[in-house]
Each structure stands twice: as C-alpha cells, then as structure tokens.
Amino acid sequence: MAAMIHTDHLTRRFRTKDKTELVAVDNLTIDVQPGEIFGFLGPNGAGKTTTIRLLSCLIAPSSGTATVNGYTVGQQNQAIRQSVGILTETPGMYDRLSAATNLRIFARLYGVADADAQIARYLRLLGLWDRRDDEAGGFSKGMRQKLALARALLHEPPILFLDEPTAGLDPEAAHLVRDFIAELRQQGRTVFLCTHNLDEADRLCDRIAVFKTHLIAVDTPTNLRRKLFSRQVVFHLRAMAPQLVAAVKAHPFVDEVQAIDNKLVVRMHDPELHNPTLIRTLVDAGADIQFVGELRYSLEDVYLQLVQTPSLSA
C-alpha cells in the first residue's frame, strides 16, 4: 500500500540572524501509512512544527523529497494543500468574527461544495452549534481548539496534521478531542500527531517517531519498549525465601532477579515462553504465588531513554 506521507532525507536549514546555519530537520526519512495515527514526539525546538510546515507546503525543503497523498512537495503544493487539514499549535481564529463565519471563510477557501451543511455538521459534532453566532474571541481555549479542529476537517481531507491538539486543555476537553482523533482513524484518515502528551500518544498512536532534529526511532509503542528495555515479570508471593531467588536465577533465560519485599522481579526476554517454567520452579521450591504481572515501562520511560541517551539521540 502506498504511503500517505513519505519523506526521503528531508532536510531544512535556516539562516539565523548571526548568519550561522541552523538545521531544523535533518535527513528525515519516514513512511506514514493510510489510516494510521502517527505520533511525532520530540522536545521543544526539535523541529516538529517545521516538519509539519514542510509537509503542508508552508515552507520549502532545503534538500530531500517528500510526497503527501501521492503529490510531491514543492511541485504539487496546491494539490497537497487541498489534501491536508492542519491544526496549528495556536488555533488562530478571527476573534471578531463568529464561529460560523470563521468556518465559512475556510469552507470557501477550500471550495467546500455544501459549506453550510458541513459547518453545521462539525459544529454539532464538536459541541459548538449553540455558540455558532458568538465571536470566536470570547471562546475558551478548549472551544477555540475544537473550532480549529472543525476548520481543519471542513474539506474532508484524507490527511490531518495536528500540532499539540490537547495542549492547555482541561481534562474533559482533552478527552473529547482525543476521542475525536480516535474517530478520525475509524474514518480511515491518516493523522500526523505532534504532542508532548506521552500518555495521549501511547493511547492514540499506531506508531511513534521520536525526533530531535533527526529521527531517533520509529516503531509501535510496544516495540519501542521491547527494543529499549528487556521485559520484567513480577511474582507476588505470600512470603519471600532466599532459595526462591536462587531457583529462579538458575535458569539460563533469566537475565536478572531482584527480591523486593514479597515480590520477585525477574528480567528476561520472551516471558510468554518462559513464565510457565518459572511458575513451576517457584511452586516446586515452596512458593505460594498470589499473582503474576508484567512491569510495564511507560512511553515516558521510552521517550526519556531515547532523547536523553547521547548514543541513541546522536
């Protein structure tokens, strides 16, 4: 299946005021598949917004190539602009105009056929219908963000670039926006999601790219965890005994064993294969197992490991 977004050594350099050259995006090569929610994570100033601007044809690449929805950046910019919806970091509404007028302007710019029906549809979907005639300047941050999301969707683009869609929103508004993004995937749209909210990325994204000027890693959240950390299984026991540690350690597939209170934390690869053996070993050694669980690393652990480890982020 052809990628909806494809970049090949995409690079963007800026000349700073003191005439030095700043590389904002360096040799980025990624593929984003149709219907995928692709998380793009990185620290502030990593070049995430620049990447979105490159892919939405707002700025030109210094070198490398990119295609969006099959159209080439720099050559078919108008077609790309028509194919993508963009939610910028700040909603950027016309504050003196009503919510409906704000949307009507963009519906006309994108040539939306039945503009009024589309506007009504998205205002209703995002819970803004009753406030359609109110000035956008009087909206809360959450409402402005929802209005900006409606604006990005009016022309039914197959690809959406969302830059920090839930930044600064209260939990309820953030939840609504997240649910809405999840719905977009069900509609078959491709979402390129920049976020600092790692829990959000973990829950929403099919794959995640960790980026700091250059691509550090890209994979599913689960695979990223597995690549960085060997898995750890926790055995909760009624009582701890020294021979239990020794019995577990005797297995060659066990990398490390730690006894913490009544818990045995066992680091190993492929727990699905080895857990039955370990459980038998522990029971034979006289352990009363209360329950077994896997110690899960959060995406934050993965992210920090990737971004802060010089050998990984270099």
Residues that bind other proteins (CB under 8 A): 14, 53, 56-60, 78, 81-82, 84, 86, 88, 90-97, 101, 105-106, 108-111, 148, 151-152
Measured in residues, the chain has a length of 314
Which one, 41 or 152, has the nearer CB to other proteins? 152
Tell me the C-alpha distance between 172 and 181, whole Å.
Answer: 14
Task: Please write down the long-range contacts of 103-112, taking CB distance under 8 Å and 24 or more positions apart.
Answer: 103/147, 103/150, 103/151, 103/154, 106/151, 106/154, 106/155, 107/154, 107/155, 110/82, 110/154, 110/155, 111/82, 111/155, 112/154, 112/155
Which one, 44 or 311, has the nearer CB to other proteins? 44
- CB-CB contact of 238 with 245 (8 Å): no
In angstroms, what CA-CA distances link 68 with 8, 65, 133, 162, 205?
Answer: 12, 10, 35, 15, 19
**Among 281, 220, 236, 216, CA closest to 254:** 281
Taking the alpha carbons of 131, 133, 135, 136 in that order, is the dihedral positive or negative?
positive
Q: How far is the CB of 84 from other proteins (least distance, A)?
A: 8
Give the pair of three-digit tokens for residue 276.
């039955």
Residue 116 is given by DSSP the state: H
Q: How far is the CB of 232 from other proteins (least distance, A)?
A: 44
Which one, 72 or 90, has the nearer CB to other proteins? 90
Beta strands at 231-237 and 289-295: parallel, antiparallel or unpaired: antiparallel
Q: How far is the CB of 152 from other proteins (least distance, A)?
A: 8
Q: How far is the CB of 49 from other proteins (least distance, A)?
A: 9
Q: How far is the CB of 78 from other proteins (least distance, A)?
A: 6
Which one, 93 or 233, has the nearer CB to other proteins? 93
Which one, 11 or 232, has the nearer CB to other proteins? 11
**What residue type is assigned to position 269 of the chain?**
H
Which one, 128 or 148, has the nearer CB to other proteins? 148
Q: How far is the CB of 65 from other proteins (least distance, A)?
A: 18
Q: How far is the CB of 230 from other proteins (least distance, A)?
A: 44
Which one, 93 or 181, has the nearer CB to other proteins? 93
- CB-CB contact of 167 with 141 (8 Å): no
